[in-house]
Amino acid sequence: MSDAWIYGTQGGDATSRLLAELGFSPHRVAANGTLRPPDGDSKAPALAVILASGLEQPSCAELCARLAADEDLGEVPVLVAMASGALAEGLGVSEGHELLIEPFSAGELQARIARARRAVNGIDHDDIVRVGSLEMNLATYQVAIDGRPVDFTYMEYELLKFLVTHPKRVFSREALLNRVWGYDYYGGARTVDVHIRRVRAKLGSENASRIKTVRSVGYRWEGT
């Protein structure tokens, strides 16, 4: 189940229920201190929802800027939810973030989430990603090469998915540990190298070569 972090001290129960219906695990964040939930779950979320009308400090625009500037969180899709009269109050929405006017349905929320994800990753959660002979179904966690299924462990798949959906960007081993394994993982950078070797071995020579080693930095996925 993917995590969704909800920012705002007021309201949000209806939004939490809708997110749960869509398969997310909602976590409330006060937003006046850390950007992360208080329950110790610090892995980057699949989605951030800002309840603009329920914010005290910081402002909506300031919170959007803080989320964008947090390198450990990376590019998190952001939705901003506000009451119908809030636009006139000048709460505003950062450019590129999806806006939801309360109340909204599960269908509208799902459509906005899909748009926010496409804006960040260029793909929707339910899309099938194809790169050369490689095909990844992001909804069913299935991988095929030349039409033949290939079995990956959960973490091997998560690592491959992260690289494939963030092409042409170099990620350090520490960044991959944070983004794929989570902040509470203490296995060390060697864990990344071991999983990269395993993923490359399963991808075969053509696709393995798409995972580039950037010396003294980390790894990059080449391919669209």
pLDDT tens for the 224 residues of the chain, in order: 578 888 876 667 888 888 888 878 888 887 666 777 766 555 778 888 888 776 766 777 788 888 888 777 777 888 888 776 555 444 445 555 778 887 888 888 887 887 787 777 666 555 788 888 899 888 777 899 988 999 998 889 889 988 998 888 899 988 888 888 775 555 677 889 999 999 999 999 889 999 999 988 899 998 76
Residues 6+ apart with CB under 8 A from 161: 136, 138
CATH number of 128-221: 1.10.10.10
Residue type, 79: L
What are the residue boundaries of the structural domains of the chain, listed by start? Answer: 2-121, 128-221
Q: Which pLDDT belongs to residue 129? A: 84
CA gap 213, 167 in Å, rounded: 13
Residues 6+ apart with CB under 8 A from 22: 106, 109, 110, 113
Residue 54 — φ and ψ, nearest 5°? -100, 5
Q: pTM of the full predicted structure?
A: 0.55
Q: Report which of 187, 213, 217, 183 is spatially closest to residue 199, judged by C-alpha positions.
A: 213
Q: Which pLDDT belongs to residue 155? A: 86
Tokens 């914010």: give the residue.
55
Q: Report which of 25, 169, 20, 198 is spatially closest to residue 109, judged by C-alpha positions.
A: 20
Residue 28 — φ and ψ, nearest 5°? -85, 140
Q: Which pLDDT belongs to residue 88? A: 41
Give yes or no for a contact between 97 and 81, defined as CB atoms under 8 angstroms apart.
no
Q: Is 26 helix (H, G, I), strand (E, B) or coil?
A: strand
Question: Is residue 14 within a helix (H) or strand (E), and if so which, with residue range?
Answer: helix 13-21
Q: Which pLDDT belongs to residue 95? A: 52
Superfamily of domain 2-121: Response regulator (3.40.50.2300)
